[in-house]
């Protein structure tokens, strides 16, 4: 009996070793460890109409993974965009103080010095740099002076090109939705088959269209090649300066003033005083500026709420310029046919959301969008106020803004019903705002590697799999041995 037990010992030990190995391997080591330390990054998005501050956070040990960076908090700077401080640059710096003070609270103190801080300015500053490069430089100097007074790792205040703005918005959207690469359950990296998402951004002074192109671009200026996580992307992008929401409204006003008529895109019963200096200040309205005008003059303008006239006024923004390529959007700008899914954010979202939420109008198809725009443009001022109370100072301008969005998408970019059905209007993905800011930070902090992040992990994974297999075989061998030795006398077939 004792001898029999003794004979069972080696296979039992073998089995125990195999079992122990399997158990050790299946315990997730990550959960045993302390929660990983968080890292932070701050981006000030200095837009033409206002500045927003975004604070991002991510686990320090996973910074090269996709979809890992999320929004920690945000802050809206009070007052206008930094480009509105051309006559008082110091005021631009001062305007940021309240949000930066909030950042001191939002980021744990021991992380301040290691937190990169960026300011990126967009089309408002591009326009100011066109009219007065000196003024643009002093505004950037003033904000730099303020930003360097904080304990963060300040990495510069710059004006982004329209191309950067478009591409970083595209990177943000696809990064957040994990369209580049995805971390699967088994710790394995894989490339989602759904492809990338096109991005449409409507700011105050410019608008960007960015999507992965099927073929080579006819105009090299519109193509950007990116290598992200080991994959090459050929991206079409174009930024239309002066086609942002606020500049479009100024241009429509300038055109109405040329005829001194009522404004067909403003509701009947609405009137406003228009300061000529404000209308003509921007390079976007230069062509419509009378040779002489009194900059201090105010003109009183009434709305005529005429959807058909408003439509033709807005269509004047899309010049039928000759197209030097096989295909153009408008103004002679090359554009391949829109393809795939799109996300439309910033003012695209706010405008469509007004139609949907405040006005209760369906906007699921282009035809519905067109009808919704006509309905909004046909409201009287008192109807509009009654229907959308609390819509704020933008209320009289929703008709021209919505008319512009509808025409930009359909006649501008060439979305038909089929293509439009793949557009979603969205301002956030999860808790994170969709815009260029996150993509800008990811790029400048090298958080999107050119090579696949999976290499190291994949190796670890195969080693792990080999060990599992080894221990499992060990266990199996032990069990077989054990079984044979425990029942040596049993004749075969007795079962």
Ligand X SMILES: *[C@@H]1O[C@H](CO)[C@@H](O)[C@H](O)[C@H]1NC(C)=O
Sites of contact with ligand X (CB under 6 A): 61, 63-64, 129, 133, 136-137, 140, 159, 307, 374-375, 378, 449
103/119 with CB nearer ligand X: 119
Q: Name the helix (H) or strand (E) containing 432.
A: strand 432-433
Is 165 annotated in the active site? yes
> Scanning the structure block, which residue is given the tokens 């003059």?
297
15/119 with CB nearer ligand X: 119
* In the complex, minimum distance from the CB of residue 375 to ligand X, in angstroms, rounded to a whole number: 6
Q: Name the helix (H) or strand (E) containing 200.
A: strand 198-202
Which one of 63, 98, 110, 165 is the catalytic residue? 165
Query: DSSP code of 9?
Result: H
C-alpha 377/C-alpha 396 separation (Å) is 10
Give which of 107, 166, 90, 130 is closest to 335, Cα–Cα: 166
> Is 378 within 8 Å of 368 (Cβ atoms)?
no
18/307 with CB nearer ligand X: 307
* In the complex, minimum distance from the CB of residue 126 to ligand X, in angstroms, rounded to a whole number: 8
* In the complex, minimum distance from the CB of residue 301 to ligand X, in angstroms, rounded to a whole number: 21
> Is 81 within 8 Å of 236 (Cβ atoms)?
no
DSSP string of 208-242, one letter each residue: EEEEE-SS--SSGGGEEEEEETTEEEEEEEEEEET
* In the complex, minimum distance from the CB of residue 318 to ligand X, in angstroms, rounded to a whole number: 22
Query: How crowded is residue 445: how many other Cβ atoms within 10 Å of its Cβ?
Result: 17
374/405 with CB nearer ligand X: 374
> Scanning the structure block, which residue is given the tokens 């302390």?
34
427/457 with CB nearer ligand X: 457
132/258 with CB nearer ligand X: 132
Pairing, β 223-228 against β 231-241: antiparallel
Long-range pairs of 247-251 with CB within 8 A, sequence gap ≥ 24: 247/48, 247/123, 247/127, 247/204, 247/205, 247/206, 247/282, 247/284, 248/317, 248/400, 248/401, 248/404, 249/397, 249/400, 249/401, 250/278, 250/279, 250/282, 250/284, 250/285, 251/284, 251/285, 251/288, 251/317
C-alpha 387/C-alpha 375 separation (Å) is 12
* In the complex, minimum distance from the CB of residue 159 to ligand X, in angstroms, rounded to a whole number: 4
* In the complex, minimum distance from the CB of residue 36 to ligand X, in angstroms, rounded to a whole number: 10
Residues labelled as active-site residues: 165
């Amino acid at each position: 009996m004792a001898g029999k037990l003794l004979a069972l010992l080696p296979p039992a030990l073998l089995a125990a070793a195999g079992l122990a190995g399997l158990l050790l391997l299946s315990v997730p080591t990550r959960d045993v460890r302390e929660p990983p330390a968080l890292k932070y990054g701050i981006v000030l998005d200095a837009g033409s109409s206002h500045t927003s501050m975004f604070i991002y956070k991510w686990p320090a040990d996973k910074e090269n993974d996709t979809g890992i960076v999320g929004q920690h908090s945000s802050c809206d700077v009070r007052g206008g965009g930094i480009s509105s401080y051309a006559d008082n640059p110091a005021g631009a710096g001062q305007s940021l103080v309240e949000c930066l003070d909030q950042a001191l609270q939002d980021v744990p103190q021991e992380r301040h010095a290691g937190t990169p801080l960026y300011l990126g300015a967009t089309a408002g500053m591009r326009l100011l740099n066109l009219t007065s490069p000196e003024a643009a430089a002093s505004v950037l100097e003033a904000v730099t002076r303020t930003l360097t007074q904080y304990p963060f790792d300040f990495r510069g205040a710059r004006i982004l090109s329209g191309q950067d703005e478009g591409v970083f918005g595209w990177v943000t959207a696809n990064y957040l939705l994990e369209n580049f690469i995805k971390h699967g359950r088994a710790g394995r990296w894989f490339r989602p088959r759904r492809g990338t998402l096109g991005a449409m951004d409507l700011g105050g002074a410019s608008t960007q269209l960015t999507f992965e192109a099927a073929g080579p671009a006819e105009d090299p200026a519109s193509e950007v090649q990116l290598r992200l996580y080991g994959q090459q992307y050929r991206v079409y992008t174009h930024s239309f300066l002066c086609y942002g929401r606020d500049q479009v409204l100024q241009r429509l006003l300038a055109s109405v003033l040329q005829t001194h008529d009522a404004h067909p895109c403003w509701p009947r019963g609405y009137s406003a005083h228009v300061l000529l200096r404000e209308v003509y200040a921007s390079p976007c309205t230069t062509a419509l500026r009378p040779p002489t005008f009194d900059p201090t003059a105010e003109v009183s303008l009434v709305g005529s709420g005429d959807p058909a006239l408003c439509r033709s006024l807005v269509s004047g923004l899309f010049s039928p310029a000759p197209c030097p390529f096989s295909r153009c959007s408008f103004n002679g700008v090359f554009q391949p046919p829109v393809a795939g899914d799109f996300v439309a954010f910033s003012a695209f979202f706010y405008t469509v959301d007004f139609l949907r939420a405040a006005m209760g109008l369906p906007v699921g198809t282009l035809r519905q969008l067109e009808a919704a725009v006509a309905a909004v443009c046909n409201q009287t001022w008192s109807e509009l106020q009654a229907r959308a109370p609390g819509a704020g100072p933008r209320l009289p301008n929703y008709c021209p803004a919505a008319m512009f969005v509808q025409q930009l998408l359909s006649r501008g970019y060439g979305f038909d019903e089929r293509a439009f059905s793949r557009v979603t209007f969205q301002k956030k993905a999860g808790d994170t705002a969709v815009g260029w800011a996150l993509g800008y930070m990811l790029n400048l902090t090298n958080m999107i590697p050119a090579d696949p992040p999976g290499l190291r992990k994949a190796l670890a994974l195969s080693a792990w799999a080999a060990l599992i297999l080894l221990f499992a075989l060990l266990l199996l061998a032990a069990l077989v041995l054990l079984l044979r030795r425990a029942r040596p006398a049993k004749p075969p077939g007795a079962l």
